[in-house]
Amino acid sequence: MSQSNILFFTDPHNSDQPPRMRREGYREQILAKQVAIIPHAKVVDLTIIGGDIFHQKKTHKISHYLVSKVMEIYREYGAVYIVPGNHDFDMNPEEMKNNPLGIVCKLPNVRLLHGGVARSIMGMDIFFKGLGDFKEDKTLIDMLKEWQIDQTERAKSMTSILYNVAVIHDSVSYRKLPYETIPFGNIEKYADLFLLGHIHKPQGETARMVSPGALSRGSLERDTVDRAVVFVVIDIDTDARRHSVKPIKLLVKPAEEVFKLDQKVAEIKIDDKVNKFLEYLQTVHVDLKVSDVRDMIQKIEVLDMDERVKKEAIKILEQL
């Protein structure tokens, strides 16, 4: 089959309780976004979800109601493949079978894949790599290298080379970020198309990378409050070996209606004061006796104050 299309979204972070900076109503709002996708998911060949289906890892923090509502929605999507995210489990992948994500994936139209390949789907081989808190024997790069070798060997016995798609819930980016990521340039040669989750802020697109950002607006950051929330439909021509991406915006409420902006502003002001105080401490040079420093540290340790200030103040005192 040369013509096909995939609907892709990632990181819905379904939760009964709103994330820290969200107001009440988060559960209904995130479910409504996934309901809005149903008409589009019904007419594509395949829906792929890039991980972090649930916000809480612990089973007892996820209600039966929430699991049942997610199942009601995904049942309407048609064929669905899901790769697990770091929020979906903190155990051995085998134990996912009976956690909330595992239950959702018992739907007849839904399949969960972690570190595996779905073969020969509409002229595509799709590699899935989730991100869970468990020890892996192989790095992402090593897994992709092995996949490339395997695909090369398969191609020798096939009349046509399958289109290779990689669905990855790892920190992959084409730009430098202040946390550990895998540079996109290091992996782009291993697949025709990459669908990336995990990073909530959209990373833009390259010829082979689709990173639309999270469906959830759970975190409140200065540069992401008013970002567009999108899913994408990707049209693929496997014979011509090309694809096109169409982002589709979802309607979302204004930031001031869903976020605790007043609380965030107050925290920013506190952070500014804390930083100024720490900067001042670093500029002070005092000749203290060891006993004086120890006494001051003991007093600071029992104070009811921001832990960051405690740690930094103690660190500075120890260096005097």
Q: What is the DSSP string of 82-150?
A: E---TTT-SS-GGGGGGSHHHHHTTSTTEEE-SSEEEEEETTEEEEEE---SS--SS-HHHHHHHHHHH
pLDDT tier at 309, thresholds 50, 70, 90: confident
Give yes or no for residue 97 having a pLDDT over 80. no
Give yes or no for residue 41 having a pLDDT over 80. yes
The per-residue pLDDT of the chain, averaged, comes to: 84
Task: Pick the more confident residue, 294 or 253.
Answer: 253
What share of the chain in percent tops pLDDT 70? 83
**CB atoms near residue 56 (< 10 Å):** 17
The neighbouring-strand residues paired with 194 are 166, 209
pLDDT at 273: 67
Give yes or no for residue 177 having a pLDDT over 60. yes
Taking the C-alpha atoms of residue 42 and residue 154, their distance in angstroms, rounded to an integer, is 32
Top mean-pLDDT range of 184-193, 234-243, 284-293, 306-315: 234-243
pLDDT tier at 257, thresholds 50, 70, 90: confident
Segment 188-215, tens digit of pLDDT: 889 999 999 998 888 877 788 999 999 9
Segment 268-282 mean pLDDT: 67
Segment 219-224 mean pLDDT: 66
pLDDT at 255: 78
**Ramachandran area for residue 115 (φ above 0: left; ψ -120 to 50: alpha; else beta):** left
Token output for 4: 């096909």
Segment 15-37 mean pLDDT: 91
pLDDT at 175: 76
pLDDT tier at 2, thresholds 50, 70, 90: confident
pLDDT at 117: 92
Q: Worst-scoring range by mean pLDDT, 193-202, 223-232, 236-245? A: 223-232
Give yes or no for residue 16 having a pLDDT over 90. yes
Give yes or no for residue 290 having a pLDDT over 70. no
pLDDT tier at 265, thresholds 50, 70, 90: low
pLDDT at 161: 80
pLDDT at 4: 93
Give yes or no for residue 133 having a pLDDT over 60. no
Taking the C-alpha atoms of residue 2 and residue 198, their distance in angstroms, rounded to an integer, is 30
**CB atoms near residue 230 (< 10 Å):** 15
Q: Worst-scoring range by mean pLDDT, 30-44, 119-133, 229-243? A: 119-133
Is 297 buried (19+), middle (13-18) or exposed (0-12) by CB count in 10 A?
Answer: middle
pLDDT at 58: 81
CATH class of segment(s) 3-258: alpha beta
Which SS3 state, helix, strand or coil, does residue 78 take? coil
User: Domain map of the chain by residue range?
Assistant: 3-258, 261-319
CA-nearest of 93, 175, 92 to 128 is: 93
Taking the C-alpha atoms of residue 228 and residue 215, their distance in angstroms, rounded to an integer, is 9
Token output for 235: 């049209």
